[in-house]
């Protein structure tokens, strides 16, 4: 029986308030309105940014919400005006839209989209419109996606159509962590062949940055993390060295300077801590080193001495790896299908949506790279 045009009652993990476990609830998902698609989520990853919103963010207004933004699914129905998608299409939702009409989208200089800035980033990381309710209450759609749910409704400018043969329980990770880290190295830092790189933080984002440095032809890739359990995976993905800052009694940038004849050509910060951001910048060669900030935080500021930059260092930021989202996601899925991109290596645990709080605990304890939650059957 077709569900098109009807409200769908289904299961989702609702975050009623900050700092509390998620609660599995029955929710109502309204049909898609103009230019929207309703998607059956098949699989979703849990990313550090979901935890950030739940535990560290300043967005106390953004609750109740359904978190989750790293997923893959199947289009269930489409709203008026949608021509690009059909029910049955395999898709990846994206937290960063690509409307293809605004001045940012039309410029090759950025992957930002004005619609995303207005709706998502400036409005406390919650979608302005929500099609989801629970117990009569409107539920915010975190970054416009809300993938910790069997069904969600998303604007078509934030949905990418992918190869129908792609395994959704794997390529879901391309929806955030993999593009974010890989693209930070390849697109934003523009790592070049023969260079020396340092990646700080070896979660999925940092490991994807390691993979991007390798793909770009870096000669040395130094992986930095305070958790030694991350070292082996970093080497699998291309790191040539692992350094634990806790093993040294001097600042990490001095350790890296000694290892590299004065500093690395490129550093990528994938932790989200301002002290690490400063270390990443100072680890770069003063004459031309490029430091890219990927880790997300809004709770404090990075102190920079002007002389850190004056000799020639560059400090840049990267959101979604600099990929124009709707264009980049299908390309990355194709790279995976062509065996040019590793994704399976990032998945350390598989769970069901009911076990979401266990997945959160694993990430808090640093015991996983990515947990993929199987939400609905394909």
Binding site for ligand APR (CB under 6 A): 47-49, 52, 177, 180, 200-206, 224-227, 230, 245, 270-273, 276, 294-296, 363, 366
DSSP strands (E only) in 225-289: 241-243, 266-269
The count of C-alpha atoms lying within 13 angstroms of the C-alpha of 349, restricted to the half-sphere facing its C-beta, is 21
Q: How many CB atoms lie within 10 A of CB 255?
A: 20
* Distance between start and end Cα atoms, the chain: 17
The nearer residue to ligand APR, 32 or 295, going by C-beta atoms, is 295
Tokens for 107?
A: 């410029």
| Contacted entry of Zn ion, ligand APR, none for residue 105, CB cut-off 5 to 8 Å set by kind | Zn ion
Which listed residue (10, 48, 59, 69) is catalytic?
A: 69
Residue 250 backbone zone (phi > 0: left; psi -120 to 50: alpha; other: beta): beta
Residue 220 vs 334, nearer CB to ligand APR: 220
Residue 180 partner contact from ligand APR, Zn ion, none using kind-dependent CB cut-offs of 5 to 8 Å: ligand APR
Candidates 7-15, 110-118, 221-229, 301-309: pick the segment binding Zn ion (CB under 5 A).
Answer: 110-118
User: Which of 269, 301, 295 minimizes the C-alpha distance to 282?
Assistant: 269
Secondary-structure percent of the chain, ordered helix, strand, coil, rounded to 5: 35, 25, 40
Catalytic residue (choose from 176, 284, 291, 368): 176
Name the binder of 273 from Zn ion, ligand APR, none, CB < 5-8 A by kind. ligand APR
Give least dist CB 54 to ligand APR, A: 12
Cβ distance to ligand APR smaller for residue 76 or 269: 269
Which of 72, 102, 209, 224 touches Zn ion by CB under 5 A? 102
**Residue count (the chain):** 378
SS3 state of residue 35: coil
Give me 345's structure tokens.
Answer: 């290596």
**Known catalytic residue at 176:** yes
Smallest separation, CB 44 to Zn ion (Å): 25
Q: Which is nearer to Zn ion, 53 or 324 (CB)?
A: 324
Q: 69 catalytic, yes or no?
A: yes
Shortest distance in whole angstroms from residue 363 CB to ligand APR: 6
Catalytic residue among 48, 53, 59, 253: 53
Cα torsion 148, 153, 158, 159 to 10°: value is: 80
From 18-26, 63-71, 105-113, 169-177, give the range in contact with Zn ion by CB under 5 A.
105-113
DSSP 7: P
State the minimum distance, in angstroms, from the CB of residue 72 to ligand APR: 17
CB-neighbour burial class of residue 228 (10 A; exposed 0-12, middle 13-18, buried 19+): exposed
- Decide which of ligand APR, Zn ion, none touches 10; Cβ closer than 5 to 8 Å per partner kind: none
State the residue number with the nearest CB to Zn ion.
113
- Asked if 105 interacts with Zn ion (CB under 5 A), we say yes
270 among known catalytic residues: no
CB of 81 to ligand APR, least distance (A): 32
What residue number has its CB nearest to ligand APR? 203
- Return the number of the residue (247 or 354) whose C-beta is nearest ligand APR: 247
Q: Which residues of 71-95 are buried (b: 16+ CB within 10 A; e: fewer)?
A: bbbbbbbbbeebeebeeebbbbbbb
- With b for 16 or more beta-carbon neighbours within 10 A and e for fewer, the 155-181 pattern comes to bbbbbbbbeeebbbbbbbbbbbbbbbb
Helix then strand count (H, E) for the chain reads 12, 19
Determine if 113 is a binding residue for Zn ion (CB under 5 A): yes
Among 30, 51, 99, 351, binds Zn ion (CB under 5 A): 99
Which does residue 366 touch among Zn ion, ligand APR, none (CB within 5 to 8 A, set by kind)? ligand APR
User: Residue 294 binds which entry of Zn ion, ligand APR, none, with Cβ cut-offs from 5 to 8 Å by kind?
Assistant: ligand APR
Report which DSSP code applies to 320.
Answer: G
Which residue ranges make up the site for Zn ion (CB under 5 A)?
A: 99, 102, 105, 113
Residues acting as catalytic residues: 47, 49, 53, 69, 176
């Amino acid at each position: 029986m077709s569900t098109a045009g009807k409200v769908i009652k289904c299961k989702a993990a609702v975050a009623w308030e900050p700092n509390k476990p998620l609660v599995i609830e029955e929710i109502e998902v309204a049909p898609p309105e103009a230019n929207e698609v309703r998607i059956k989520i098949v699989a979703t990853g849990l990313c550090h940014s979901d935890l950030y919103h739940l535990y560290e963010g300043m967005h106390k207004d953004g609750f109740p919400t359904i978190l989750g933004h790293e997923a893959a699914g199947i289009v269930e129905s489409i709203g008026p005006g949608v021509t690009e998608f059909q029910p049955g299409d395999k898709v990846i939702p994206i937290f960063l839209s690509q409307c293809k009409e605004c001045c940012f989208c039309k410029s090759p200089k950025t992957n930002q989209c004005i619609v995303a800035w207005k709706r998502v980033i400036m409005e406390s990381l919650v979608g302005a419109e929500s099609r989801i309710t629970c117990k009569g209450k409107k539920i915010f759609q975190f970054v416009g996606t809300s993938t910790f749910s069997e069904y969600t409704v998303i604007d078509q400018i934030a949905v990418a159509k992918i190869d129908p043969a792609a395994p959704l329980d794997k390529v879901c990770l391309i929806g955030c962590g993999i593009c974010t880290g890989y693209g930070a190295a390849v697109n934003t830092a523009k790592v070049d062949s023969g260079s020396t790189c340092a990646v700080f933080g070896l979660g999925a984002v940092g490991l994807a940055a390691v993979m991007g440095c390798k793909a770009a032809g870096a000669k040395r890739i130094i992986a930095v993390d305070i958790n030694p359990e991350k070292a082996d995976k970093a080497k699998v993905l291309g790191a040539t060295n692992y350094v634990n800052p806790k093993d040294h009694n001097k600042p990490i940038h001095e350790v890296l300077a000694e290892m590299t004849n004065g500093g690395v050509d490129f550093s990528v910060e994938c932790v989200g801590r301002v002290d690490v951001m400063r270390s990443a910048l100072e680890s770069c060669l003063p004459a031309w080193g490029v430091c890219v900030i990927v880790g997300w935080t809004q709770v404090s500021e990075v102190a920079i001495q002007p002389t850190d930059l004056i000799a020639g260092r560059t400090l840049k930021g990267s959101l979604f790896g600099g990929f124009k989202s709707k264009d980049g996601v299908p390309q990355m899925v194709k790279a995976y299908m062509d065996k040019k991109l590793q994704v399976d290596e990032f998945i350390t645990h598989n769970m069901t949506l009911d076990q979401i709080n266990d997945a959160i605990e694993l990430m808090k304890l640093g015991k996983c790279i990515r947990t993929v939650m199987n939400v609905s059957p394909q």
